[in-house]
Amino acid sequence: MEKLSQNLSGLGLEIGDGLLSVSEGSRGLIGKSKDQVKSKDDDSPVTVADWSVQAIVSWVLSECFGSRNVSIIAEEDVHTLSKFEARGILEAVVKTVNECLAEAPMLGLNAPDRPLGTLEVLEAISRCNSTGGPKGRHWVLDPVDGTLGFVRGDQYAVALALIENGEVVLGVLGCPNYPMKKEWLNYHHRYFRMMSKLSPPTSKSWEKGCVMYAKRGSGEALMQRLVHENKEFVWPNSAIRIQVSSIDDPGLATFCEPVEKANSSHSFTAGLAHSVGLRKQPLRVYSMVKYAAIARGDAEIFMKFARAGYKEKIWDHAAGVLIIHEAGGMVTDAGGRPLDFSKGIFLEGLDRGIIACSGPVLHKRIIDASLDSLHNEVFRDDHHHTSHPSLHYSCLPLSIPTQVLITPQTNQQ
């Protein structure tokens, strides 16, 4: 692991190369995955691409550092894939993994001496069973962040981060469908479907796809585009530095929020946006592409306030948080505290929600509005005994006196 400590930026590029290969390979899976989507125990979708990417990244990391030296925290397991009724999907996963790994030398990575067998692919996936913690080095992988976006031909990301003693030190985001023009983020899905029926998009008419990466403390975030010429993937190509937007006027700011309402409160976010003075309609984007949009300067704010019972997982945030930080932005919980990646697979101790901003001015406005809203909710609850679906008293900031929450109505002055 000495190489890891000495040359994290080089490793980031190497892993970024691998994710480029995965991103390229995943484009061909979109049509297949529509017919090969399974539901996990929590009813969230998982596709051939999810398992394939996890197997590929697991194999690459194990080859680089040795399987015994690699701790990987990842979203998918082999439980669903190992069932008899999933044998067709398992065959597709094995085929996809070997097709992608066969192209690894094009990106300077080693390919296996022979195609991986079914058991080897299952082993690579199941190897990603670490629970993390405050000590040691742990890779954090979300193989396809935004599976619904992926299946629909919309935005999704392949996200990989390295956590060292509880701190995120390396982040890589592969965003195969990320458009190079900001305005295309607003209608990517509809445009893609319409245009794909007429003619396949070309590099001239539809410039999209990139990998972003950053090393902790470097003060810079880099982006490499997925470049095509005559339908052939071109690598290497030069990386460019990306920076957050300089906009600090709420009236001009673009803010992002999740597409799906299942795990986030759009109504609460809308209330905050109104109180701060955000005038634009929210940019609803799948996956960690929201973090990418802020890091590249295409948006200024991302807010997510989870519904009751939902716990944020570290693989949905680790890579994006670091990339925004190194690009000049800020990411905290709704109480203004840094996110804690040292407690395992969940973001434990999170104060109500996550707020990412391009700079301190907007960040302070959002944080202040969030705290004002919380105080209003507390006093309203005290009078009416109701609760907001996204607020949990166990997660309230320490600055609010406990007496406010427990003083009976009859004792109020």
- Helices 87-102 & 48-65 angle (0-180, nearest 10): 50
Spot the catalytic one: 17, 47, 96, 147.
147
Q: How many CB atoms lie within 10 A of CB 89?
A: 22
DSSP output for 321-349: HHHHHHTT-EEEETTSPPP--SSSSB-TT
The distance of Cα 43 from the centroid of its chain, to the nearest Å, equals 19
Binding site for Mg(2+), residues?
75, 142, 145, 316
Whether the Cβ atoms of residue 329 and residue 274 lie closer than 8 Å to each other: no
Spot the catalytic one: 17, 50, 154, 333.
50
Residues in the chain: 413
Q: Please give the torsion angle defined by the CA atoms of residues 376, 377, 383 and 385, in that order, rounded to the nearest 10 degrees.
A: 180
Binding site, residues?
75, 142, 145, 316
- Helices 118-126 & 48-65 angle (0-180, nearest 10): 80
50 catalytic? Reply is yes
113 catalytic? Reply is no
Kindly state the tokens that stand for 201: 């998009």
Q: Which distant-in-sequence residues (6+ apart) come within 8 Å of 339 by Cβ?
A: 317, 321, 331, 332, 333, 347, 350, 354
Residue with tokens 């060292």: 164
Residues belonging to the active site? 50, 147
